[in-house]
Amino acid sequence: MPFDRMLRYCADLRDHNDRAWFHENHGRCEEARRDFLALLDQLRYVIAEASPEIGGDILYMDPRDWTYRIARDMRFYKHLPPYNPSFRAYISADRKSWLPIGYFISVEPGATLFGTGLFLEETAQINCVRDYIAEHQAEWEAILEGGGLTLEGDALKTVPRGYPADHPAARWLRYKNWMAVFRFPDEALGSFDDFAGEIASLLPRLEPFRKFLLAAGLNARAREPALPSGEKDWGW
């Protein structure tokens, strides 16, 4: 199966997560990476059909521009092994920015997923999105219910400061980022054609969620001049 080389390599890297093994198996990494790029090349057309405003950019991009390195930046992950045993990408016109919002994919044994969402770092930006969700609560809940989506993301244990504990949208305001994700067991990963077909069937459920968060993100960006100096975007 096309996914086999990616899954086997990631499983072995997970079991031998050190620099010596990584360099000894560089050829395997490159082979698996070529498979991943081929998958991304196929998914771009599926996403472009479901989301033409994204497609106008991604159809002409190099899939390598969407991928993340396997090697971790140990300045920030000193407590973790040096390599992330997965092939990951954020399919967007600008991978390093949180807008425009695109789609992310990760291929990893037992943890392959596809989805979309919005990550922000600064509290002022996060609160702008919270405000937007509160102001459009009925639309937000209809999108989640209509798409059969379960909201995921980091969340506070209580309603954040500045919002009443009994706020009608309290359950949503606790979130610091917002994701809708679909997961795939290894046995469901057959051909790239079959996987692309599955993604095509999921995109109509994900697109309203992505567009809502895009509007919320644009609302946050429009208010950026009022943010304290030094505020920065954070990418996937």
- pLDDT tens digit string along 212-236? 999 999 988 887 654 444 333 333 3
Task: Tell me the average pLDDT across 182-207.
Answer: 97
Task: Tell me the average pLDDT across 92-98.
Answer: 82
pLDDT band at 1 (very low <50, low <70, confident <90, very high): low
How does DSSP classify residue 6? H
Look at residue 6 in the predicted model and tell me its pLDDT.
98
Contact 26, 34 (CB under 8 A): no
H or E element, residue 200:
helix 192-222
pLDDT at 41 exceeding the cut of 90? yes
Give residues with Cβ within 8 angstroms of 183, minimum separation 6: 111, 112, 113
Could you tell me the residue ranges of all domains in the chain?
Answer: 4-226
Architecture of domain 4-226: 2-Layer Sandwich (3.30)
Give residues with Cβ within 8 angstroms of 82, minimum separation 6: 17, 18, 19, 22, 71, 72, 74
Look at residue 232 in the predicted model and tell me its pLDDT.
35
Q: For the whole model, what pTM was predicted? A: 0.91
